[in-house]
Chains A and B, each alone.
Chain A
Amino acid sequence: MGPLARRDARAKLAAALVFLVCVGTTPAGNYQRMAALAAVAIVWIAIARAGLFRSLFQASAILPFPLSFGLVSWWVSGDPTLAVALVVRSYLSALVVVLLMSTTTLADIFRGLQSFGAPAVLVLVLQSLTRYLQVVVDQGLRMRRASISRSGNTGRRYSLWRRAGGALAVLFGKSYGRAENVHRAMLARGFQGTFIALRPHALEWRDFALTAVAAAMSVGAAWR
């Protein structure tokens, strides 16, 4: 566990927010600032021991979306500057989100959002969504195992995905049923719309220091 993982989620959220604002307000075409912000992100990934290449790879999952919109923007305006800015901003934002996710549990992120005054409904929807995704993945794995056990594993991914695709409706039907059961279990144990933390974290000086240093680095990189 790297040093960032031990820090309070609120400190990391605040630092990430400052970074995102800096990325968002960097003018298109100012590649020097963007490179400086990328360097800041890479330094924090190294400090967190989050795995540089893994993080860079995971963040690239977002690229198809800004690339598509960027190409459209380039085609319409004839100027590639905005398109490049869109892709770089999206990628850097994704990179910092990947860093946040790899050093903080989802439960802590939700608690952090809650204590920052994020609407309770929004936090609840996010929590329910992640729990539902867990259920869908779990159900998907069960169905995949069942499928392999009956048809034999051909070892070809395509074949597996094709089978999974054919069973998509069943997967969501079953996941819906399981999600209902999870919700019932929560209701049965007194859940009334808000998650309550067992151990609310108290911010330490190290957390404040983390936010201050990270924010200073982001602002310094963006306004140099």
Chain B
Amino acid sequence: MIIEVKGLSYRYSDGTDALRGVDFRMEASESVALFGSNGSGKTTFLLHVAGLLEGEGSVRIAGEPFTRSSAPALREKVGYVFQDSDDQLFMPTVLEDVAFGPLHRGMEAREAENRALELLRQLGISELAGRAPYHLSAGEKKRAALAGVLAMQPEILIFDEPTTFLDPPGQRELAHLLLALPQAKLIATHDVWFARQVASRALFFEKGRVVADGPVDEVAARFDWRLH
């Protein structure tokens, strides 16, 4: 199992119970979509899987539990693409931002720069290398954020509402891009079309609990989770 979650519960400081005893298992070859209304616990769950929040219960990545001491090493295995790319792009230029992960994990500067340049080329945004991230379009920001995460060569990719701010062609391109990536993927989304493109399995969150787990179409149909 690449991800194993047992009895995960989390309460925010304002008293909101965001997660209530969530159990989840996922194989390395899987891509799983997370459905559920706003505030149902999807993002909180993802933050736990990435080791960025610490609740009750256990989260194991490739068999190893998240603890304070193991968190930095385990975070290397998990790449998190945030919903708002502005939160994720914090360096002065796109190149520096993409190289941030490898550089802060001990890679030589030249090697980190080469890796960043190669990823920008693969994602078709080489020309943005010297640009300031906050001057980019939403689609460009999303690609730059993805490049920054891929630069860490994670085993698991987490996407929080990846289609937010993207126009339909941008959503299609992102779906193609994700399909080509070999990593295990966890994707929180409201978009059933997008989920169907990139995942075969879906969870449905309701009030901090997983209330359904199955094929994307089945789960979406059961909760009437579509636009029309």
Contact = CB atoms under 8 A, between A and B. Distances in A.
Interface stretch (A11-19, A50-58, A193-201): A193-201
B199 interface: no
B interface, by DSSP: helix, strand, loop or mixed? helix
A181 B81 CA distance: 11
A125 B7 CA distance: 37
B75 A105 contact: no
Contacts of B91: 107
A64 interface: no
Contact of A182 (B87, B101, B148): B87
Given A188-B50, A189-B100, 8 more contacts: A178-B86, A182-B90, A184-B80, A188-B75, A189-B149, A189-B152, A190-B75, A198-B95
B13 to A, nearest CB: 12
A177 to B, nearest CB: 10
Nearest to B50: A188
Contacts of B51: 188
Contacts of A196: 103-104, 109
A191 interface: yes
A200 B50 CA distance: 31
B72 interface: yes
A190 B113 contact: no
A126 interface: no
Contacts of B52: 184, 187-188
A185 B99 contact: no
Given A198-B99, A198-B109, A189 B86 contact: no
Interface residues of A, number: 22
Interface in A181-224: 181-182, 184-192, 196-200
A138 B87 CA distance: 11
A184 B51 CA distance: 10
Interface string B56-100: 000000000000000010011011101010111011100110011
Contacts of B99: 198
A192 B104 contact: yes
Interface string A170-182: 0000000010011
B75 A185 contact: no
B105 interface: yes
B82 A190 contact: no
B184 interface: no
Contacts of A199: 109, 113
Contact of A184 (B47, B78, B92): B47
B188 interface: no
A186 B134 CA distance: 17
A30 B112 CA distance: 54
Contact of B80 (A178, A188, A192, A198): A188
A189 B50 contact: no
Contacts of A186: 90, 100
B108 to A, nearest CB: 11
Interface string A107-144: 10000000000000000000000010000001000000
CB-CB nearest 4 A-B residue pairs: A190-B104, A181-B87, A189-B101, A190-B105
A198 B113 contact: yes
A131 B105 contact: no
Contact of A138 (B82, B86, B152): B86
Contacts of A105: 92
Given A178-B87, A198-B95, A188 B113 contact: no
A186 B80 CA distance: 10
Given A188-B75, A190-B105, A131 B80 contact: no
B90 A198 contact: no
A130 B109 CA distance: 24
A107 B95 CA distance: 14
A185 B78 CA distance: 12
A106 to B, nearest CB: 8
B113 A185 contact: no
A51 to B, nearest CB: 21
